[in-house]
Structure 1
């Protein structure tokens, strides 16, 4: 084998797109020394579709890239070699191991030295062990090890929300890698690369389409396409599953029989699903199974025919049972509610629907439960349904895709949030009952269980849209394998693999990550009030008033005097009582409820004193200012790493961190202004509504611009912005500055709408200083907005601008498309001053 010149190996790091994720296999720096690594790789299965064969290829590729050492692959025995295969194959070829090895499904044995042995309980496990070995090498870890590792739970799936037209619901990293124009894409190169990423962190199945499914996926042509996907992913041990549209039998699927009913107990429906399932397994003999969303958010289901959810799930279970497939049946079932009913509570829905059915689900059904009882909020209590299904398999549903949590434009490292749920003790029957033990099947002695996460990778070279968001993807796999892993160490490991071994680099990026979830919670919604985003539109920017006065049940019940949901048994919705008694008692009592969940469980005055001594409203003000202040540091921390990260990834991530710094201030001001307006209670530190360094656009001299009242009001400073008089004419705003002469960072808050890219020019004394465009739709993947609101609100900052008192400051805005060059305000900040 020809070796790459060492300079070429190092040169690979000079320009990176992110497509390799944590599997870059970057050459080790010269400062790292390593012992001799075996030059022979013995592969105990040379069938090219085998994960063991893939493991051999991956070992050869990785060692070449990391160490610059060529390795010869063979199935001949060598004294100094890396042997990879199944435990059974090794025993057949070499005899018994010296050590006693016990492996659960998908587990592996790794023993390093002059002879390195990587053995799987099955072929997939052998590949997992190979990836683990390469991870050690890539991190400069060369100590001799000998250990077995098995996954905590058998189900470790990801859910894609891809649509057949190529779009992805809540996808922020580009179009689908699976579908386009109603069918499976021809080029499956990215699918193969995705399977490689999944396998490297122990993920064993992927549901390739949206839970809001389309019946046309079941056409013969598309079933063949699913077969091509499965063929592509099989060498990595990743099985394919699909989400089903419950009413498919009556949907007129081309190539399938068309019924007039989808009643799960109708014999013709039973036969229809049995036939379709048989067709799929003929093409995809190792299909993992089905994912079903039924009777939720307008989707059809068994309740349509007064059948139970268990009867609906068992319809598919029976069709799958002969083939070894499983049904993941989502517990995300709820109805719209009447907010005037004090007892109404969407959080009760999962227990109300599923607890009475415990024991009625077939053994190959797994109820897939969101980590909290609402919908991927920034903080929720662990769903009580985990503690109410003694005789039913369960899995936890997490979300890598940051739907409510910044949509990959905000840095939010999610594993510490997941860790609070997985490690929560439900105290079932007054015994230790950690959530991760329940879903693994240990607590209730169930045969199946585990993990599912909405990942939604796309065609963007970064997969998710943001380089740093890939840490959530990596960590999900690691936690699904071992939920006891330390989330800080996971991030450090990911950073070394993704960016390099430099200690400053690892410490800085990990520090940013660990600060990110608390910061986001602080500036988006805290004390258990949920994420105060717009639940009626894009789930991205702030809009606290959208939570209430509708039937969706994500209420805060905020009025002029009080806020929070009363979920007590004594006076509220009774939700607290759905937990086992020890936990219920904690949440029932306001004195024992943790402050970070106070407003989830209790309806209190804004003046309610917290355990910290602050009032609720003052905590809101302080937390939002603190969170936004932390977000201002992320770009600064990142910039200290300019010489340590390749230019492309450095600049792309810096852009997002600067965006987050500006958008966190939009969040801060919107939430603080809203509750200041609603409660009438002043901020003790006089920050809210007091911005001495700002100039409101509507207060400037306007030419070709007009004042515009923004809705929701709190997403504009002083409730107003300005827009050009029409969508053709250039406008300008200008004013004489009365700030002291000095060097300022000038921030401009404007609105960046989808459907146009307005052009702006900043002038001082009629001389151009800077230009920019409202073009974030070209490089930020968040769900865009066509309105002036908290989603489109954006800040751009120009640093180090010399300003003299009496200068004439102006901005010229040229509209484009539907975007009328909207401006909110300008702010002039001396170094160290936070707006």
Structure 2
């Protein structure tokens, strides 16, 4: 799907309302100025398989539907040439190379690898041949992507995957909940069983197949042993049946202690023969129902999960037990019989007072000495960084320490620490910093992407695992814009050399159409989003300063004095983890010598990872900008928030250029992001200003001349409360209604020296889970705006029950004429436990190019 479009169309007709369910597979009608090029599209489809569950059969149906939607043409499907035609007749022919050669001969495609395809477009003949049936379907989607983007060029393309393992992981639970899911409940499970209606599962498999994903782990890595009951095995089989026509295989996560918790045994020791036999039996039962099962995913001895270390066995002993059970089933080409064993193993109760303690060391400490001890169908699944999906981390050194073990990189499409789909953050630029990183093993080129593909160390397996967590929301991820991350993940897993911006432009054309202004806005917003988010959350390698429970809002103090190990070691003098060999935790020494030398030396460590590797004074000057660390924090957080304010403005310019449903949904989230970025900015700068005692040289931090604090207003039915952490509220406090049933009001009169004019009115408040308070804003008792504290119905992020950085938000009412002496009033009506919390009102001169 990497075709460039020669020209863009302007003035396209508006699409009807769209809810996002089709993602990038909308097959929207081409505009007239591109459709005239489509005369070469053949009038017939030949799909070389008559079995309805076959991906080749599916390819024929997909081609038929795509041509109908894009070009408005009805095309017949045959499974062989009619008697009046022959193999030279104009058609789109799709099938496996083997099936083609058996019928028509002469396709010499010796360079195929598993799942690869050949696409030949020559005049009005299109030939799509796959190494297997899945590959043929991939080729059909490639051709449809060309047509959908107005590309009718001749082409002769042989495309093979860079890596055999291209999986996604779902963290779904049997009750229908999804750990770190932000788009509603599970499409797979509900009320302890597989759902009855699997339509959404088939639709999901279709999306995944179009980006060449070949397997889905359908349940949470924190697995429930009940998935292995006979009834649930049958339910898993039904899910597999729903995905099979799209060439997407099913895999499951396992609970290591299942022989004990489900089987009633007194042990789950991986070297106990009875435990081995128990897993053999369960694996046999699974393959009886799901003969093409992809394999297992195992999280063991991490964050309280059981594992082999319980019995003083090695992690390799545990992985190999499952590998042996799988070896009798499937093949080991990335399609079946694989154990994906997570390297996310660490002690979550480490002692911060120990200067040498470091969670980042855990993966290499646990796995390096086991290299070569794993069965050949085991793949060690490694998070891209050594901690946990942070906004910026160095590449995990474990990739450079396993030479005789297949590895896969774990990327997170669901934005657990990165805005939880309530913030736009386009992730491929982040992923590319890792995939393109050269670890210089043995002083030779050792790009991470070449290590996980198996090429660098000549391993037969390896590849990609993406944590997705789609839900029943029609946008799949809870955000239309977030779907660009899923699209690009699949494209990178097939070809990690692709350019993030070009993938984004493809996705935009397929998702929104051909309007140049839409392309420009989506590109500018998306490409600026990761740098902006890093700026207003955590900089210089200090990680994302989230609340440790919600992983959403800011809580910088909570990063220290805990057992989780995501520390900043911030005090009044300085900040950062010393991970040097000479004086710190020794983490830098886990890299090959060339890389270790760079990180060991503060003068060669990149600024954007400075605080990851070194503990410095706040007054330390950065090599790049010359700023002090603390002034960089101030400047970056203000710059990031300012960038976030531009997103909604850019999107507003697209009104009328797409359907209202998607336009309004995206605009709402961009406005939320604009407000929440200010919560982040104020919390982080305020916290480190108070901790360091060093003022902002520009005087911005802690100085909000446009704000009126709620507690300083005339209150009726409201009372003052503290906020925890205090830096997540303006002035550290807020107001709530005095009861859960009676409305309150906060009134402020504009002073006599107030300058009359046009103002944007921003109202800071808190939206906690457990109620939907009603708010009204008035000027001189005339209604101005009303809204409901119902973000839990509109956003999927992890909500908080208390006033903090995860519940803090704000609404902005633009362009209001105000005069001195005007009276502003906010009326809040509580609901449930939500006592209409208010923080402040900010009066910002309209068009003043400033953010309070």
Could you say which TM-score interval applies, normalised by the shorter chain? over 0.9
1:542, 1:62 → 2: CA distance?
A: 45
Q: Structure 1 residue aligned with 2:116, among 107, 112, 115?
A: 107
Residues of 1 paired with 2:646 and 2:316: CA distance? Answer: 50
Cα distance in 2 between the residues matched to 1:241 and 1:470: 23
Match of 1:564 among 559, 576, 581: 576
What does residue range 654-693 of structure 1 map to in structure 2 within 5 Å? Answer: 654-693=667-706
8 Å contact kept, 1:101–1:148: no
**Deviation string, structure 1 residues 57-107 (Cα, Å, up to 9, x no partner):** 00000001001111111123341001100111111222213x755111100
Q: How does 1:66-465 map to 2 (within 5 A)?
A: 66-77=70-81, 78=85, 79-97=89-107, 102-113=111-122, 114-251=124-261, 253=262, 257-324=263-330, 325-335=337-347, 336-465=349-478
Contact 2:580 2:614 in 1 (8 A): yes
Question: Is 1:826 aligned to residue 841 of structure 2?
Answer: yes
In 1, the alpha carbon distance for the partners of 2:141 and 2:14 equals 21
2:18 alignment partner in structure 1: 16
Aligned to 2:622: 610
Superimposed CA distance per residue, residues 404-437 of structure 1 (whole angstroms, 9 cap, x where no aligned partner)? 0000000000000000000000000000000000
The answer to whether the 8 Å contact 2:14/2:656 transfers is: no
Provide the secondary structure at the position in 2 that maps to 1:632.
Answer: helix
Is residue 65 of structure 2 the alignment partner of residue 61 of structure 1?
A: yes
Decide whether the 8 Å contact of 1:492 with 1:507 is kept in 2.
no
Whether 1:729 and 2:742 are equivalent positions in the alignment is: yes
Look up the match of 2:3: none
**Partner of residue 821, structure 2:** 806
Matched, 1:763 2:778: yes
State which drifts further: 10-19 or 519-528. Answer: 10-19
- Matched residue, 1:549: 561
Partner SS for 2:328: helix
Q: Matched residue of 1:31: which SS?
A: helix
In structure 1, distance between residues paired with 2:344 and 2:720: 44
Residue pairs, 1:471-490, within 5 angstroms: 471-490=484-503
Shift of 1:764: 1.3
Which residue does 2:607 correspond to in 1?
Answer: 595
- Matched residue count: 820
Deviation track 1:653-685 (CA, whole Å, cap 9, x = no partner) reads: 100000000000000000000000000000011
Partner Cα separation in structure 2 for residue 95 and residue 579 of structure 1: 52
CA RMSD of aligned residues (A): 1.0
- 1:755–1:817 contact (8 Å) kept in structure 2: yes
1:628 aligns with 2:630: no
* Residue among 33, 38, 49 paired with 1:31: 33
Secondary structure of 1:323's counterpart equals coil
Range moving further from structure 2, 307-316 or 825-834: 825-834
Q: Distance in 1 between matches of 2:297 and 2:767?
A: 37
Contact 1:710 1:719 (8 Å CA) reproduced = yes
TM-score normalized by the length of structure 2: 0.96
User: In the aligned structure 2, how far is the partner of 1:512 from the partner of 1:84?
Assistant: 38
| Residue aligning to 1:754 | 769
Q: For 1:512, what is the secondary structure of its paired residue?
A: helix
How far apart, CA to CA, are the structure 2 residues paired with 1:460 and 1:137? 28
TM-score (norm 1): 0.97
Once the 2 structures are TM-superposed, how far is the Cα of residue 508 of structure 1 from its aligned partner? 1.4
Structure 2 equivalent of residue 585 of structure 1 = 597
Shift of 1:11: 8.7
3-state DSSP of counterpart to 1:91 = helix
**For 2:777 and 2:278, how far apart are their aligned partners in 1?**
65
Counterparts of 2:286 and 2:245, CA distance in 1: 19
Q: Per the alignment, in what secondary structure is the counterpart of residue 552 of structure 2?
A: coil
- Give the Cα separation in 2 of the matches to 1:533 and 1:403: 10
Distance in 1 between residues matched to 2:389 and 2:500, nearest whole Å: 19
Could you tell me which runs of 5 or more consecutive residues in structure 1 were left unpaired when the two chains were aligned: 1-9
CA distance in 2, matches of 1:735, 1:830: 18
Say which is worse superposed, 85-94 or 402-411, in terms of deviation: 85-94
